[in-house]
Amino acid sequence: MTLESAKVATSAATAPYTGATIWYYTGTAGGLLNPASTSYNPNAWNGCGTDTPLADGWTTTPPANLSTVTS
C-alpha cells in the first residue's frame, strides 16, 4: 500500500476518507484502556481481534464526543 494523501477531520460530522470504513472503539474493555482504572493495562487488551466488532464495542458511526474513542 502506498499512502498518496490523507485528510484528518476534527469533526465527527466530516468523513475523513472517501470510500473507507473507519471503526471507532468506545467500549469499556473492562478498564484495560482507562488510565484511571486499577485494571489499566493496554497491553492486555485484545479487542482488535474480534469476529463480532459491533457486539464488542466497535462502531462505524463517529461518536458525537470523540474523546470517548479509546482505539
Domain edges within the chain: 24-61
Residue 47 has a pLDDT of 78
Q: What is the pLDDT of residue 4?
A: 57
Residue 14 is predicted with a pLDDT of 57
Q: Which residues contact 36 (CB under 8 A, 6 or more apart)?
A: none
Q: How many angstroms separate the Cα of 46 from the Cα of each of 12, 32, 33, 49?
A: 26, 10, 11, 6
pLDDT of residue 16: 60
User: What 3-state class would DSSP assign to 59?
Assistant: strand
- Per residue in 6-62, pLDDT (tens digit) is 555 555 555 566 778 888 888 878 888 888 889 898 888 887 777 777 777 888 888
